Copies of this chain bind each other. A is one copy, B any other.
Amino acid sequence: MEIQNYCGTSRIAGCSFSVYPMADRFKEIILEALKTVDTSKVWIETDDVTTLVRGRIPHVFDVTSAIFIAAAKDGDHVVFNGTYSIGCPGDSTGDVYMAEDETKLNISNVKNIKLETASKFSLYPLGGGNYMDTIYSQIENMRSRGITVSKSHYSTRLDGNAFDVFDGLEHVFTETEASGSSHTVMTVTMSANSPSAKGVIK
């Protein structure tokens, strides 16, 4: 549960995220990535800490994944960090476009981009629901798409193609919400083009 927000139990999804290019050209990389992404089906606002995106689940994932893939596709070491949230009792009802259909605007631009990534994600179903079976079935689903799943302290590690991992994460988030969790939070850290060797996986 987040604090200092007020009202509402709407089904507005959102993500507070940042993209970190580890390069002197970080501003240019971010601005060039943003130019290629169609954000017209979400409410979006950037400040000096994070960018907020709000709208329907498919568009929130479409926009966040497209911005990261666009920023990382040219080989810079870029990290995505985001907190996806839906149903926070303290959330407000404004700042969102909920009337849009489900057609994703950016999927055709990014679905064929191959980008190996290493991620850690955690899921916090704060509002109950039969989520554990959902999570395990979605993890099996990820494995069937060629994503490597392993465990870490405080998170689950995913290794695979960026688009496929985001697609899997969207399924996990959607299915957890659908399974009855009234308030679902998911945190994701995704790294591309890291010069580090593949790490110690416990």
Contacts and interface: CB of A to CB of B under 8 A. Distances in A.
Interface of A: 1-5, 14, 16, 18, 20-24, 26-27, 45-50, 52, 54, 77, 79, 81, 83, 85, 88, 91-92, 95, 118-120, 122-126, 132, 135-136, 139, 149-157, 185, 187, 189, 191, 194-202
18 contacts: A2-B156, A4-B150, A5-B154, A16-B154, A22-B24, A23-B26, A24-B24, A45-B202, A47-B201, A48-B118, A48-B196, A49-B119, A50-B189, A52-B152, A88-B154, A95-B202, A122-B185, A124-B124
A155 B52 CA distance: 11
Given A16-B153, A54-B153, A157-B49, A125 B2 contact: no
Q: How many copies does the complex hold?
A: 2
Contacts of A85: 154
Contacts of A16: 120, 152-155
Contacts of A77: 26
